[in-house]
């Protein structure tokens, strides 16, 4: 497999331009501000950025309601600023992925405005209409408790329109060849401006059959995915699509494509939920089950592993009992929960700000099969503001320093209130203070990222589950090109002594701790003994540190 596949060993960092860094002092983050922070991001060691939507939008769903696919919202700058940014990123070797939100538009999009006001409009069939209210209009809502229906009556159109998400996000009729052609045009436009691919929003809904007659679970038209991929690859060989598709494991290959001809990457929502179950219960069985079920993927395809993102932590795939266990541990208060299925908090408050548990969680995520995705602020342990509605609580501005508004803006009116007080407030939690402290979370994470990039076995190799004899300890071994690493994580608060075999030929000899350089030799039976502290973790390489040398022995 060619090593050119950059996404196989990448570290992705996701951010919203509007809450990252404000350069012009109007209170809203912008591309110029982001450009100024590129060296910070390179210093952290991430290799790719994923930008959430920044196109013109009425901003009723954090930009996921686009009103013009070919522009930059003036709040964030101009197309010129965007290209200056992608150029600056490229100069530093950073890839840029952007959100591609084409399941729906904003209801303010000129396509919808024209479609609703004239039955003969050229874009009328770009949306999904029904003369009467379909009988199943109240099923399939994505935001229960906030959104009531998936079909809303539009007086101007004299018809109901379909919207999988909020009523101000009319679904595009993606089966329409003209809409499909427009999606390709949008991709081509941004590729031309310097991006390396897309995080495709809501993929199962993009490719689902839509219409008043459609009932039950979405029926996907997978051919569309192949069409997107072919077009993209033709325009730019190393561009990728990272799919947001919270589907069941039996469908994974439908999305990747048996012949690796559909999505390059997918977020692993299964493992994400298993991971939080493991952290909540200090048991590994459920997580192991998720890892096993999502093991299969074409060699060039890749999972994206993550802890938290800009949405709620969706626990909808766990059983009711499992979900309750995670709620009890991390979101017991109903106000911390959302849509009846998830938790809306950021990770550090969920883990009571406990540094040992944070390190464990990030270390675990970095050593799961796939490519890690961090969210801005994770690197400094930012908290949330539960007074803000729905998912907004975890979208507060980046905390750069202890200056007013956390150094995010010079304006006294920031676009969203930074966290000003309490243990997660910017006077305590900010990037500037942590840069000067060698033991800060920021500097620890920088070291872990450096380490992760030097362990390509995780991104490229196959994993084997090691028997550790302890239900609280996850042991994974990765192998790739004659090299092997062993990663061990103790999910419990109590220390534990484990004995384990690496299962490598000849038992692999001594293990070397990649973080400390300490050696752990095998006993006569070839097994290793290890005392893991509460929430302790180890990354070992089998057979010494000379992996660069060994890597040439392909
Ligand atoms: C995004 C959400 C958004 C929704 C509608 C999602 O899957 O992650 O933030 O609200 O799509 O676009």
- pLDDT one-digit tens code per residue, 11-30: 999 999 999 999 999 999 99
Report yes or no on 168 lying in a domain: no
Residues 6+ apart with CB under 8 A from 56: 66, 67, 68, 71, 72, 73, 74
Q: Which atom of ligand 1 is nearest to the CA of 391?
A: 9
pLDDT of residue 217: 78
- 408 neighbors 7 (Cβ within 8 angstroms): no
Kindly state whether residues 116 and 262 are assigned to the same domain: no
- How far apart are the CA of 434 and the centre of ligand 1, in A? 32
507 versus 47: which is more confidently predicted? 47
Residue of 57, 202, 316, 341 best suited for mutating to test ligand 1, as the one with most atoms within 8 Å of CB: 202
Nearest CA to ligand 1 atom 5: 64
Mean pLDDT of 294-303: 96
* Residue 544 in this model has a pLDDT that exceeds 70: no
What's the burial of 255, exposed, middle or buried (CB within 10 Å: 0-12/13-18/19+)? buried
Q: Please give the Cα distance from 483 to 77 (Å, whole number).
A: 47
DSSP 8: G
Global pTM exceeds 0.85? yes
Report yes or no on 244 lying in a domain: yes
Report yes or no on 345 lying in a domain: yes
Quickly tell me which residue has 């999502």 as its tokens.
Answer: 294
Kindly state whether residues 364 and 408 are assigned to the same domain: yes
- How far apart are the CA of 336 and the centre of ligand 1, in A? 19
Kindly state whether residues 358 and 465 are assigned to the same domain: no
Nearest CA to ligand 1 atom 8: 311
Residue of 58, 63, 64, 267 best suited for mutating to test ligand 1, as the one with most atoms within 8 Å of CB: 64
Q: pLDDT of 441-451, one tens digit each?
A: 999 999 999 99
Q: Please give the Cα distance from 11 to 261 (Å, whole number).
A: 23
* Residue 552 in this model has a pLDDT that exceeds 50: no
* Residue 182 in this model has a pLDDT that exceeds 70: yes
The set of protein residues with a Cβ atom below 6 angstroms from ligand 1 is 61, 64, 101, 165, 201-202, 244, 310-311
Residue of 16, 51, 61, 106 best suited for mutating to test ligand 1, as the one with most atoms within 8 Å of CB: 61
Quickly tell me which residue has 């060849």 as its tokens.
Answer: 177
Kindly state whether residues 510 and 409 are assigned to the same domain: no
Report yes or no on 170 lying in a domain: no
Domain around 151:
110-162
pLDDT of residue 504: 87
Question: Is 201 designated active site?
Answer: yes
Q: How confident is the model at residue 506 (pLDDT cuts 50, 70, 90)?
A: low
Q: Please give the Cα distance from 112 to 118 (Å, whole number).
A: 10
Q: How confident is the model at residue 508 (pLDDT cuts 50, 70, 90)?
A: low
* Residue 106 in this model has a pLDDT that exceeds 90: yes
Q: Please give the Cα distance from 56 to 263 (Å, whole number).
A: 27
For the domain that residue 529 is a member of, what is the CATH number? 2.60.40.1180
pLDDT of residue 505: 75
Q: Which atom of ligand 1 is nearest to the CA of 104?
A: 12
* Residue 1 in this model has a pLDDT that exceeds 60: no
Kindly state whether residues 15 and 90 are assigned to the same domain: yes
pLDDT of residue 13: 98
What are the DSSP calls for 332-379, one per residue? -SGGGEETTTEE-S-HHHHTTT-HHHHHHHHHHHHTSSSEEEEETTGG
pLDDT of residue 482: 85
Q: How confident is the model at residue 174 (pLDDT cuts 50, 70, 90)?
A: very high
- How far apart are the CA of 510 and the centre of ligand 1, in A? 47
What average pLDDT does the structure give for the chain?
A: 95
Residues 6+ apart with CB under 8 A from 8: 300, 302, 371, 456, 459, 460
* Residue 553 in this model has a pLDDT that exceeds 50: no
What are the CA-CA distances from residue 435 to residues 322, 401, 442, 453, 515 (Å)? 38, 10, 7, 21, 20
Q: How confident is the model at residue 554 (pLDDT cuts 50, 70, 90)?
A: very low
361-375, 414-428, 531-545, range with the lowest pLDDT? 531-545
Task: Calculate Rg over the CA atoms of the chain.
Answer: 24
Q: Which atom of ligand 1 is nearest to the CA of 311?
A: 9
- How far apart are the CA of 191 and the centre of ligand 1, in A? 22
Residue of 106, 165, 218, 269 best suited for mutating to test ligand 1, as the one with most atoms within 8 Å of CB: 165
Q: Please give the Cα distance from 340 to 446 (Å, whole number).
A: 36
Last residue of a domain, one of 389, 418, 453: 453
- Give, to the nearest 10 degrees, the angle between helix 269-281 and helix 320-330: 60
Find the angle CA(356)-CA(360)-CA(364) to the nearest 5 degrees.
Answer: 175
Q: Which atom of ligand 1 is nearest to the CA of 64?
A: 12
Q: pLDDT of 35-85, one tens digit each?
A: 999 999 999 999 999 999 999 999 999 999 999 999 999 999 999 999 999
> Pairing relation of β-strands 473-480 and 337-338?
unpaired
Q: Which two tokens stand for residue 390?
A: 């729905």
Q: Choose, from 35, 107, 154, 201, the residue flagged as catalytic.
A: 201
Residue 197, SS3?
strand
Report yes or no on 1 lying in a domain: no
Kindly state whether residues 83 and 130 are assigned to the same domain: no
What are the CA-CA distances from residue 533 to residues 319, 386, 511 (Å)? 30, 33, 18
Q: Please give the Cα distance from 554 to 542 (Å, whole number).
A: 17
Q: Please give the Cα distance from 190 to 184 (Å, whole number).
A: 10
Q: Which atom of ligand 1 is nearest to the CA of 165?
A: 5
pLDDT of residue 216: 77
Going by C-alpha positions, the residue among 44, 76, 118 that lies closest to residue 444 is: 44
Nearest CA to ligand 1 atom 3: 64
Last residue of a domain, one of 404, 430, 453: 453
> Pairing relation of β-strands 95-100 and 197-200?
parallel
Q: Which two tokens stand for residue 331?
A: 């979101």
Q: Which two tokens stand for residue 414?
A: 């920031």
Nearest CA to ligand 1 atom 4: 64
Q: Which atom of ligand 1 is nearest to the CA of 244?
A: 7
Tell me how long the chain is: 554
Q: Choose, from 35, 99, 244, 457, the residue flagged as catalytic.
A: 244
* Residue 385 in this model has a pLDDT that exceeds 60: yes
Q: Which two tokens stand for residue 129?
A: 């209409």
pLDDT of residue 177: 98
What's the burial of 507, exposed, middle or buried (CB within 10 Å: 0-12/13-18/19+)? middle
Report yes or no on 62 lying in a domain: yes
Nearest CA to ligand 1 atom 12: 64
For the domain that residue 135 is a member of, what is the CATH number? 3.90.400.10
What are the CA-CA distances from residue 423 to residues 194, 328, 420 (Å)? 40, 22, 9
Kindly state whether residues 132 and 20 are assigned to the same domain: no
Q: Which atom of ligand 1 is nearest to the CA of 101?
A: 12
Last residue of a domain, one of 430, 453, 476: 453
Kindly state whether residues 386 and 291 are assigned to the same domain: yes
Q: How confident is the model at residue 256 (pLDDT cuts 50, 70, 90)?
A: very high
Report yes or no on 167 lying in a domain: no
For the domain that residue 380 is a member of, what is the CATH number? 3.20.20.80
Kindly state whether residues 280 and 404 are assigned to the same domain: yes
Nearest CA to ligand 1 atom 9: 311
- How far apart are the CA of 166 and the centre of ligand 1, in A? 10
* Residue 431 in this model has a pLDDT that exceeds 90: yes
Kindly state whether residues 118 and 207 are assigned to the same domain: no
- How far apart are the CA of 338 and the centre of ligand 1, in A? 14
Report yes or no on 123 lying in a domain: yes
Quickly tell me which residue has 């939690």 as its tokens.
Answer: 429
- Give, to the nearest 10 degrees, the angle between helix 269-281 and helix 285-293: 170
**Which residues, in sequence order, are bridge partners of residue 199?**
99, 242
Question: Is 244 designated active site?
Answer: yes
* Residue 234 in this model has a pLDDT that exceeds 70: yes
Q: pLDDT of 117-154, one tens digit each?
A: 999 999 999 999 999 999 999 989 999 999 999 999 99
Kindly state whether residues 528 and 402 are assigned to the same domain: no
Nearest CA to ligand 1 atom 7: 202
Kindly state whether residues 218 and 281 are assigned to the same domain: yes
**What total of structural domains would you count in the chain?**
3
């Amino acid at each position: 497999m060619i090593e050119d596949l950059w996404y196989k060993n990448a570290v992705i960092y996701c951010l919203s331009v509007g809450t990252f860094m404000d350069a012009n002092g109007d209170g809203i983050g912008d591309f110029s501000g982001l450009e100024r922070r590129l060296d910070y991001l390179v210093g952290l060691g991430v290799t790719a950025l994923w930008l959430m939507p920044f196109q013109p939008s009425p901003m009723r769903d954090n930009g996921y309601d686009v009103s013009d696919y070919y522009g930059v919202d003036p709040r964030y700058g101009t197309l010129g600023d965007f290209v200056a940014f992608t150029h600056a990123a490229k100069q530093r070797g950073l890839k840029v992925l952007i959100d591609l939100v084409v399941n729906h538009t904003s209801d303010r999009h000129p396509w919808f405005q024209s479609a609703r006001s004239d039955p003969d409009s050229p874009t009328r069939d770009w949306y999904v209409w029904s003369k009467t209210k379909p009988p199943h209009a109240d099923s399939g809502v994505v935001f229960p408790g906030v959104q009531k229906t998936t079909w809303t009556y539009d007086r101007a159109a004299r018809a109901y329109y379909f919207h999988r998400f909020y009523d101000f996000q009319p679904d595009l009729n993606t089966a329409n060849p003209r809409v499909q052609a427009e999606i390709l045009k949008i991709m081509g436009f941004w590729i031309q401006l310097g991006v390396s691919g897309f995080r495709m929003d809501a993929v199962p809904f993009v490719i689902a059959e839509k219409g008043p007659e459609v009932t039950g679970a979405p029926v996907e038209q997978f051919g569309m995915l192949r069409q997107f991929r072919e077009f993209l690859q033709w325009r730019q060989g190393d561009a990728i699509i990272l799919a947001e598709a919270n589907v069941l494991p039996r469908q994974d290959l439908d999305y990747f494509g048996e012949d690796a001809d559909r999505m390059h990457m997918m977020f692993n929502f299964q493992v994400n939920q298993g991971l939080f179950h493991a952290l909540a219960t200090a048991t590994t069985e459920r997580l192991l089950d998720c890892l096993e079920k999502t093991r299969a993927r074409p060699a060039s395809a890749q999972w994206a592993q993550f802890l938290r993102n800009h949405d709620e932590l969706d626990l909808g795939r766990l059983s009711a009992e499992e979900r309750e266990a995670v709620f009890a541990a991390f979101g017991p208060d109903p106000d911390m929960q959302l849509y009846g299925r998830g938790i809306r908090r950021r990770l550090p408050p969920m883990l009571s700000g406990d540094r040992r548990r944070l390190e464990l969680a990030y270390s675990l995520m970095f050593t799961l099969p796939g490519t890690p995705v961090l969210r801005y602020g994770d690197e400094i342990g930012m908290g949330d503001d539960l007074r803000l509605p729905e998912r907004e609580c975890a979208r507060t501005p980046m905390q750069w320093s202890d200056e007013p508004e956390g150094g995010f803006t010079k304006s006294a009116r920031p676009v969203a209130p930074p966290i000003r007080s309490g243990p997660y407030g910017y006077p305590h939690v900010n990037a500037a203070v942590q840069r000067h402290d060698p033991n800060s979370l920021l500097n620890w994470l920088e070291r872990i990222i450096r380490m992760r990039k030097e362990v390509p076995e995780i991104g490229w190799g196959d994993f084997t589950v090691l028997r550790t004899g302890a239900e609280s300890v996850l042991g994974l071994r990765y192998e790739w090109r004659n090299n092997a690493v062993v990663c061990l994580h103790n999910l419990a608060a109590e220390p534990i002594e484990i004995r384990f075999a690496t299962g490598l030929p000849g038992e692999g000899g001594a293990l070397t701790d990649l973080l400390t350089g300490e050696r752990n030799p095998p006993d006569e039976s070839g097994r290793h003994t290890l005392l893991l502290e509460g929430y302790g973790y180890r990354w070992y390489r089998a057979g010494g540190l000379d992996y660069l040398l060994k890597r040439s022995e392909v």
